[in-house]
Amino acid sequence: GSEGRKFPIVMDGKRFLVTRTVFELLQALQAKDRGRYIWIDAICINQGHEHTSSGKMTPHEDLAEKSQQVALMGSIYRNASRVIAWVGGTAN
């Protein structure tokens, strides 16, 4: 998603800021009648700005963690019951 304005979401009782693209995806997939599990790479993969309890991760730690997570993507997609490729919502 773009690096412009961020939108707040609540996940597992914690507040996160996401891009407009991720926010629009979540709105489109929102299930009113039941919960669902959604794996979104922009949220689940360290994008280089994650924080740990001890402070900010170093760029080396960010890259190592991201590399590990990216390596799992094939397995995640193969084992998914459904895969959706979201390239954006409505035009602005």
State pLDDT tens for residues 46-76: 776 544 445 566 666 778 888 888 899 999 9
Q: What is the pLDDT of residues 8-19, one digit of tens each?
A: 999 889 998 999
Query: Residue 92 and residue 90: Cα distance in Å, rounded?
Result: 6
Is a pLDDT exceeding 90 seen at residue 34?
no
Of the candidates 66, 61, 32, 26, which has an alpha carbon nearest to the alpha carbon of residue 46?
66
Percent of the chain with pLDDT over 70: 77
Quote the pTM value: 0.67
Q: Are strands 14-18 and 51-52 parallel, antiparallel or unpaired?
A: unpaired
User: 36 CB contacts (<8 Å, ≥6 apart)?
Assistant: 29
